[in-house]
Amino acid sequence: MTAHRVDGPVLVVGCGLIGTSVALALSDLGTDVHLRDLTPATAEVAAQLGAGTVDPVDAPRIVVVAVPPASTAATVLALLEEFPTAVVTDVASVKSDIAAGVTGHPGAARYVGGHPMAGTERSGPMAAAPRLFEGRPWAVVPHADSTDDAVGRLTGLATAVGAVPMTMTPQAHDRAVALVSHVPHVVSVLTAGLLASAPRSHLDLAGPGLRDVTRVAGSETGLWLDILGSNAGEVREVLTMLRGDLDRVLDALDAGGPTLSGRLADVLDAGRAGTRRIPGKHGDRAREHAVVHVQIADRPGELSRLMTHAGESDVNIEDIRIDHEYGRPVGLVEVEVAEDRADHLVRSLTARGWSAYR
Amino acid sequence: MTAHRVDGPVLVVGCGLIGTSVALALSDLGTDVHLRDLTPATAEVAAQLGAGTVDPVDAPRIVVVAVPPASTAATVLALLEEFPTAVVTDVASVKSDIAAGVTGHPGAARYVGGHPMAGTERSGPMAAAPRLFEGRPWAVVPHADSTDDAVGRLTGLATAVGAVPMTMTPQAHDRAVALVSHVPHVVSVLTAGLLASAPRSHLDLAGPGLRDVTRVAGSETGLWLDILGSNAGEVREVLTMLRGDLDRVLDALDAGGPTLSGRLADVLDAGRAGTRRIPGKHGDRAREHAVVHVQIADRPGELSRLMTHAGESDVNIEDIRIDHEYGRPVGLVEVEVAEDRADHLVRSLTARGWSAYR
pLDDT of amino acid A150: 96
- Measured between its terminal Cα atoms, the distance across chain B in Å is 37
Q: How do residues A167-186 score in pLDDT, each as one tens digit?
A: 999 999 999 999 999 999 99
- Is the CB of residue A72 less than 8 Å from the CB of residue A49? no
Question: What value does the mean pLDDT take over residues A129-133?
Answer: 86
Question: Mean pLDDT across the stretch B4-18?
Answer: 91
Residue-level length of chain A: 358
CB pair distance less than 8 Å for A316 and B325 = no
Are β-strands A319-324 and A289-297 bridged in parallel, bridged antiparallel, or unpaired? Answer: unpaired
| Inter-CA distances, B42 with A133, A291, B17, B166, Å | 52, 24, 11, 31
CATH for A174-255 (3.30.450.40, 1.10.3660.10, 1.10.443.10, 1.10.10.10): 1.10.3660.10
Q: What is the pLDDT of residues B72-83, one digit of tens each?
A: 999 999 999 999
The domain limits of chain A are 10-168, 174-255, 289-357
CATH topology of domain B174-242: 6-phosphogluconate dehydrogenase C-terminal fold (1.10.3660)
Residue scoring higher pLDDT (A9 or A347): A9
Its sign, for the CA torsion B281, B286, B288, B290, is: positive
Q: State yes or no: pLDDT of B46 exceeds 50.
A: yes
pLDDT above 70 (res B23): yes
Q: What is the pLDDT of residue A75?
A: 97
Q: Do B129 and A293 touch (CB under 8 A)?
A: yes
Query: Does B109 lie at the interface with A, CB-CB under 8 angstroms?
Result: no
Q: What is the pLDDT of residue A108?
A: 96
**Side-chain half-sphere of A358: how many Cα atoms within 13 Å?**
21
Interface check A200 vs B, CB under 8 A = yes
Question: Residue B287 has what pLDDT?
Answer: 52
Beta bridge partners of A293: A334, A357
Mean confidence (pLDDT) of chain A: 88
CB–CB of A330/A298 below 8 Å? Answer: yes
Residue B335 has pLDDT above 90, yes or no: no
Whether pLDDT at B64 is above 60: yes
Q: Shortest Cα distance from A212 to chain B (angstroms)?
A: 5
What's the whole-number mean pLDDT along residues A282-307? 70
Mean pLDDT of B244-269: 90
Taking residues B14-18, what's their average pLDDT? 93
The mean pLDDT value of chain B amounts to 88
Q: Which DSSP state fits B104?
A: T
In angstroms, the CA B197 to CA A269 distance is 13
Contact B328/A at CB under 8 A = yes
Helix (H, G, I), strand (E, B) or coil at B43: helix
Q: What confidence tens digit (pLDDT) does each residue in A298-335 have?
A: 676 777 788 878 877 778 777 777 766 555 556 778 88
Between CA B230 and CA B225 the distance in angstroms is 8
Tell me: pLDDT of A62 over 80. yes
Answer yes or no: is pLDDT of B264 > 50: yes
For residue A137, list its beta bridge partners: A164
Please determine, for the modelled complex, whether the ipTM score is greater than 0.85: no
With cut-offs at 50, 70 and 90, classify the pLDDT of residue A88: very high
What is the structure's pLDDT at B280?
65
Q: How far apart are CA A19 and CA A8, in angstroms?
A: 16
| Superfamily (CATH H level) for A10-168 | NAD(P)-binding Rossmann-like Domain (3.40.50.720)
User: What is the CATH architecture assignment of A289-357?
Assistant: 2-Layer Sandwich (3.30)
Provide the Cα torsion A75, A185, A214, A126; round to 10°: -10
Asked whether the beta carbons of B178 and B234 are under 8 A apart, the reply is: yes
Least confident range from B103-117, B197-211, B250-264, B315-329: namely B315-329
**CB contact, 8 Å: B255 with chain A?**
no
Q: Using alpha carbons, select from A8, A112, A88 the residue that is nearest to residue A52.
A: A8
> What average pLDDT does this structure show over B291-313?
78
Determine the Cα–Cα distance for residues A89 and A158; give it in Å rounded to an integer. Answer: 11
Q: Give pLDDT, residue B193.
A: 95
pLDDT band with cut points at 50, 70 and 90 for residue A1: very low
Question: What count of other Cβ atoms lies within 10 Å of the Cβ of residue A241?
Answer: 15
B278: nearest CB among A203, A311, A322: A203
Higher pLDDT, A126 or A35: A35
Do the chains contact at B184 and A210, CB–CB below 8 Å? Answer: yes
Question: Quick one: average pLDDT of B338-346?
Answer: 85
* Cα–Cα separations (whole angstroms), residue A198 to B42, B129, B231: 41, 33, 18
Q: What is the DSSP letter of A284?
A: S
* Residue A28 CB neighbours (<10 A): 16
What's the first-to-final CA gap in chain A, in angstroms? 37
> Residue B111 and residue B76: Cα distance in Å, rounded?
8
pLDDT of residue B165: 94
CB B333 within 8 A of CB B296: yes
Of A131, A243, A298, the CB nearest to B243: A243
Quote the percentage of chain A above a pLDDT of 70.
92
At residue B12, the pLDDT reads 98
Say which of B131, B134, B246 has its CB closest to residue A239. B246
